[in-house]
Amino acid sequence: MATPLAAVADVLSGRRRVYFGWWLLAASVGAMALGSGTSFWAFGFYVQPLEREFGWTRAEVSLGFSAALLVSGLSGPLIGRFIDTRGPRTAIIVGAVLTTLTFFLLATTNALWQWYAYSAANAVARQMMFFIPFMALISRWFDRRRGIAVSILGTGFSLGGFIVVPLVQVAMDLLGWRATLAVSGLAVAAVFLPIGLFIVRNSPAELGLAPDGARDADGTASTPRVIDGVMLHDALRSPLFWALSFGFMLFFYGMFGWMVHQVPFYESIGLSRRTAATIVSATAALSIATRLLVGVVADRITRFEYVVVGLAATLLAGMVTLSISTSPTAIGLFLMMWVIGTAGGPMIESLLLTRAFGVRHFATILGTVVVVETIGQILSPTIAGAIYDATGSYDLTLLMFIGSFASAVAVFLVASQLRRPYQPTT
């Protein structure tokens, strides 16, 4: 077997071509960075500007994020079905156009109902172009190396916080929140449309390739394999489906709720918005290495549920630390545990669901799981905002997140003992 250095030398000399899946993955990372940086990472920056301009409460602003998640979550199965039947490429192109238009709509917000309606439309459009299609795409292009490939894709999420968040902060300071939303829409069109039109291919078979660029003993490309997996109705009858779904709901309840409120939280304890943005950006940068490490581990462990248990337990410990003290030392310790605990990030769904149910109907199954996840993601930001409005602090919110991560630990432990419906053919 050739060593990694020998493989690099073969590529540089032209004796060996780079598997197209790696080029596709590189483009997908860029798309994930922009998509997450202009949405998930940026949510917290719009809270105070909307409060100041319109006099809305923090709970009312947060409800806009929750309403968006509700509609996008309910649309998950339909979007997943569309991706499985029409291919990720079509979904990415259509979703990019719609996302750009809805960012422009958000920039025209003048009433609370518009904030809710436009946020919901934007969330559905992003669902079509962003998370589900790229996870489905990379899961199709990689098999034996799926863990490391999905973890590399997950670094795009971290890069969104590291690279895009400071740009969002600068745009907000110089241009205001309306122009920042409009610029976000233009950026989506400039990045996602070329990637969807000129780079994305739905599966390796379209180019006569096999997943991972596998080759036969004579060095020729392996025969493309048929993508297989469990159908949705079979997955719904599996106890593992429901255990994973509720585990994801609890895990992302705490993770997403904190992402929305982390900037306001840091401001509530006396830090400036610029300092808060720096903290967010730094933690995102540090999480790149931990996400790659999780990918390496994922390809070597049979039951990835145990890894997720460890991640949730680490987040639990981090929240406990922050609830005890907000001193610089405590914040530093929390950030270290947050970086480790979120290392799985959006990858855990792909790594667990493809092993449990296969790839063929992955997007449909993921879209259905998102419906369950959305319950937690809807409630978390709104409840956190309401707690702050009622008490003037995030103390009770931290206790709420402690409970969600502790429950996630218990549910994933149960999931690790359940039978997987999908047994891959060799």
Are the CB atoms for 303 and 379 separated by under 8 Å? no
Nearest-angstrom CA–CA distance, 182 and 195? 20
Confidence check: pLDDT of 165 > 50: yes
Confidence check: pLDDT of 147 > 60: yes
Confidence check: pLDDT of 218 > 60: no
Confidence check: pLDDT of 13 > 50: no
Under the banding of pLDDT at 50, 70 and 90, the label for residue 9 is very low
pLDDT value, residue 5: 39
CATH 1.20.1250.20 fits 19-203+227-415, yes or no: yes
pLDDT value, residue 8: 39
What's the rounded mean pLDDT across residues 390-394?
Answer: 91
Confidence check: pLDDT of 416 > 90: yes
Confidence check: pLDDT of 1 > 50: no
pLDDT value, residue 78: 92
Q: What is the 3-state secondary structure (H, E, C) of the chain?
A: CCCHHHHHHHHHHCCCCCCHHHHHHHHHHHHHHHHHHCCCCCHHHHHHHHHHHHCCCHHHHHHHHHHHHHHHHHCHHHHHHHHHHHCHHHHHHHHHHHHHHHHHHHHCCCCHHHHHHHHHHHHHHHHHHCHHHHHHHHHHHCCCCHHHHHHHHHHHHHHHHHHHHHHHHHHHHHHCHHHHHHHHHHHHHHHHHHHHHHHCCCCHHHHCCCHHHCECCCCCECCCCCCCECCHHHHHCCHHHHHHHHHHHHHHHHHHHHHHHHHHHHHHCCCCHHHHHHHHHHHHHHHHHHHHHHHHHHCCCCCCHHHHHHHHHHHHHHHHHHHHCCCHHHHHHHHHHHHHHCCCCCHHHHHHHHHHHECCCHHHHHHHHHHHHHHHHHHHHHHHHHHHHHHCCCHHHHHHHHHHHHHHHHHHHHHCCCCCCCCCCC
pLDDT value, residue 223: 55
Residue-wise pLDDT tens digits, 230-252:
899 999 999 999 999 999 999 99
pLDDT value, residue 122: 94
Under the banding of pLDDT at 50, 70 and 90, the label for residue 380 is confident
pLDDT value, residue 331: 92
Under the banding of pLDDT at 50, 70 and 90, the label for residue 3 is very low
This prediction has a pTM of 0.80
Instruction: Select, from the ranges 41-50, 250-259, 405-414, the one with the highest average predicted confidence (pLDDT).
Output: 405-414
pLDDT value, residue 290: 83
Select the more confidently predicted residue: 146 or 97: 97
pLDDT value, residue 6: 43
What's the rounded mean pLDDT across residues 115-133?
Answer: 92
Average pLDDT, the chain: 87
Residue-wise pLDDT tens digits, 180-208:
999 999 999 999 999 999 999 999 989 88
Confidence check: pLDDT of 222 > 70: no
Lowest mean pLDDT among 105-114, 143-152, 295-304, 396-405: 295-304
Confidence check: pLDDT of 377 > 60: yes
What's the rounded mean pLDDT across residues 355-359?
Answer: 91
Residue-wise pLDDT tens digits, 253-303:
999 889 878 888 998 898 887 888 788 778 877 888 888 888 888 878 888
Domain residue ranges of the chain, discontinuous segments joined by +: 19-203+227-415
Instruction: Please state, in angstroms and as integers, the Cα–Cα distance from residue 89 to each residue in 34, 84, 175, 304, 334, following that order.
Output: 17, 11, 33, 29, 39
Residue-wise pLDDT tens digits, 26-39:
999 999 999 988 98
Lowest mean pLDDT among 101-105, 312-316, 381-385: 381-385
Confidence check: pLDDT of 167 > 60: yes
Under the banding of pLDDT at 50, 70 and 90, the label for residue 227 is low
Confidence check: pLDDT of 426 > 60: no
